[in-house]
Chains A and B, each alone.
Chain A
Amino acid sequence: MTDKDLTGHRPIDLAKVWGTAVGQFIDLWRTSLMALMELGSGEQAISAGQSARFRVPSANGHMPRLTARNMVGETYHKPLDGGLVIFTEISSDPGYVTVECSVDETRQRITGDTYVGQVVDANGTVVATVSLDAGS
């Protein structure tokens, strides 16, 4: 690394870095604070497991194209069509989006079960493993 490398950045490059860093500092502070506040409280939202949330790198500031695959029921071991899993962008941080997924039960009758499988991006890279309660 030369002195020229160190001084060769345009102001706009550094502005982008530090502009992003401001948001990251706030996230870091908020997360640390929440971790302290939740210390030992034992509180968890009562959830039926119908949806799952995860965080993935954003694509141009938006939720990337995601697909569920290898979804199989834990009890009856039946496969679930990955196309029935729907993804919704919940929030976004710099460079990341938080995604919620659930099963669309209006299209066909699904055997009641907890379906476990993977979420992949457009390149086929696994970005999350999810567990979804669905069916009746």
Chain B
Amino acid sequence: MTDATSGNTQSDEEKQAKRRVIEDAMLAFRPEIVRDFPRDPPPAPGPALAALAAAANIRRLTKHRRLIDGFRRSTADFRADLDDQARAVLDSTLEQDVPADGRQSLVERAKRRLDEVAEAPGEPRLQRQHWQLWVQSTDDIFRFTRHEQTFEACSDQQLVTKTTPDGQSVLSRLLVAQFWSELPPASFRPFLEPENWPLCCAFWKSVVQLSARVPTADGYDWDFNETVDIITEELTVPLHIGFRVSPDQSRISTRFSISDVFYLPTTEVDVDAGIISAESVPGGPAPTLVKAIKYLHWRDPNRPDPTALACEFGWCELLEEMAYGCAQGFGPEGVGPGGATTSVDAAIKQLVEAVTAECQQGISQNVPNLEQLIGRFTGSSWDAGWVNDLLNMGLVTARHYGNIAGDFRRFADSLRDAATERDGHD
């Protein structure tokens, strides 16, 4: 076994400390998990949030998401005791160059928004609509990037039937996280390659090669042992991956599953499969969708199942780090406020491509209706059903014009962002 990657840019101690801070910020508000995975001393909310605020190597997305989740799980009285720590967390995520006098006012405004999001309807945990509410109500304070604005995680409530290497059908947990980006898929290539996951995410301990990479026409296949830390558990899983890059670089992905060759009776999970990808997807809030899907099943039903927590404890953080380009960053182009890295020329090109695609699809989808419509008048007697054909065509057209309107809206946003950025540089 060679080629161990355990994180060159951060020491193992730094990664462990970072992971501990993130875990504590969750566990402090989740006593039911601490019962299954006891930690001594058990994390308390106040110190956990104070550590979160002090951690300079934890991303804004992670800090905000943990803070909102913790507050939503707490009563109003309990939250009141944590006001100062919450303000410290929010303060730590403001731009460094905000002057001290204005800083306090921004923190107070953000804190009021936080209390509103904590009280917003929904389950007592962070859900998609709560993140959207937070982004909308504090964008003037934090100027979120497109990656942050569109971040969604974790959907881990769904169970899906998957087959184990032993041929058993088991209900596996489905974990999904994603965000949209103005950057092309190729920008995410380094983070999609498994050898870099330990560099990216504090929960990944190592990736250790089990067999040599096998080149393919569009990437490579590889077997390796992946070791991750989840709270008190260390899981090592032999994975087989297929890393692929499409010829036009519009899609880069790593498909992974348990390696049949290296799977052992002692392997603690019997389903660990999915895909991490960055691909051009027309019709979204930005041109590129970065997505991570994972199916997991814990083998031993008699032990507490840490995979039930894998989305929040690890999978989510991998995507959160990717949203910032991991430790390496995205290079000189960066990701500006609101994701405003798209030039006007690029925005025009995207608009033209999107509108053309919509029109082409609309025309092809209307072909059967048009054929039927013409057929109504070319028979021996005309058919009054032409009304229905026309309405069907109207329905298809309305659907596509709705999409085109969305494309124009995004184009307008791009122009606004470009103007804002230009003004900022003047």
Please, which residue of chain B has its CB at the minimum distance from the CB of A32?
A: B398
B41 nearest CB across to chain A (Å)? 36
Asked whether, in the complex, the Cβ of B384 is within 8 Å of the Cβ of A17, the reply is: yes
B312 nearest CB across to chain A (Å)? 15
Mark each residue of chain B from 168 to 185: 1 if its CB lies under 8 Å from any CB of chain A, else 0: 010010101010100000
Report the Cα distance A95→B293, complex, angstroms: 36
By a CB distance below 8 angstroms, the chain A residues around B273 are 112, 135-136
Asked whether, in the complex, the Cβ of B180 is within 8 Å of the Cβ of A136, the reply is: no
Asked whether, in the complex, the Cβ of B388 is within 8 Å of the Cβ of A38, the reply is: no
Mark each residue of chain A from 68 to 84: 1 if its CB lies under 8 Å from any CB of chain B, else 0: 00000011100000000
Asked whether, in the complex, the Cβ of B257 is within 8 Å of the Cβ of A35, the reply is: no
A25 nearest CB across to chain B (Å)? 7
B379 nearest CB across to chain A (Å)? 10
Asked whether, in the complex, the Cβ of A17 is within 8 Å of the Cβ of B385, the reply is: yes
Mark each residue of chain B from 20 to 58: 1 if its CB lies under 8 Å from any CB of chain A, else 0: 000000000000000000000000000000000000000
Asked whether, in the complex, the Cβ of A95 is within 8 Å of the Cβ of B402, the reply is: no
Report the Cα distance A1→B158, complex, angstroms: 59
B396 nearest CB across to chain A (Å)? 9
B216 nearest CB across to chain A (Å)? 9
Asked whether, in the complex, the Cβ of B162 is within 8 Å of the Cβ of A105, the reply is: yes
Contact of A18 among B128, B257, B275, B387 (CB under 8 A): B387
By a CB distance below 8 angstroms, the chain B residues around A57 are 368
Please, which residue of chain B has its CB at the minimum distance from the CB of A22?
A: B391
Report the Cα distance A112→B274, complex, angstroms: 7
Which residues 86-128 of A have a CB within 8 angstroms of B?
Answer: 94-95, 105-106, 108-114
Given A17-B387, A105-B169, A133-B405 contact (CB < 8 Å): no
B271 lies within 8 A of chain A by Cβ: yes
B399 lies within 8 A of chain A by Cβ: yes
Asked whether, in the complex, the Cβ of B284 is within 8 Å of the Cβ of A105, the reply is: no
Which residues 362-398 of B have a CB within 8 angstroms of A?
Answer: 368, 377, 381-382, 384-385, 387-388, 391-392, 394-395, 398
Number of residues of chain B lying within 8 A (CB) of chain A: 54
Contact of A35 among B167, B293, B402 (CB under 8 A): B402
A15 nearest CB across to chain B (Å)? 10
Please, which residue of chain B has its CB at the minimum distance from the CB of A29?
A: B398
B285 lies within 8 A of chain A by Cβ: yes
Which residues 2-27 of A have a CB within 8 angstroms of B?
Answer: 5-6, 8-9, 13-14, 16-18, 20-21, 24-25, 27
Asked whether, in the complex, the Cβ of B405 is within 8 Å of the Cβ of A39, the reply is: yes
B248 nearest CB across to chain A (Å)? 14
Report the Cα distance A37→B269, complex, angstroms: 44
Contact of A28 among B162, B178, B398 (CB under 8 A): B398
B276 lies within 8 A of chain A by Cβ: no
Chain A residues close to B by CB (< 8 Å): 1, 5-6, 8-9, 13-14, 16-18, 20-21, 24-25, 27-28, 31-32, 34-36, 38-40, 42, 44, 46-50, 57, 74-76, 94-95, 105-106, 108-114, 133, 135-136
Chain B residues close to A by CB (< 8 Å): 128, 150, 152, 155, 158, 160-164, 167, 169, 172, 174, 176, 178, 180, 242, 244, 253, 255-258, 271, 273-275, 284-285, 293, 295, 368, 377, 381-382, 384-385, 387-388, 391-392, 394-395, 398-399, 401-403, 405-406, 409-410, 413
Q: What would 12 A/B residue contacts be, using CB atoms closer than 8 Å?
A: A5-B381, A16-B385, A18-B387, A21-B391, A46-B176, A48-B176, A48-B293, A75-B255, A105-B161, A114-B255, A133-B275, A135-B162
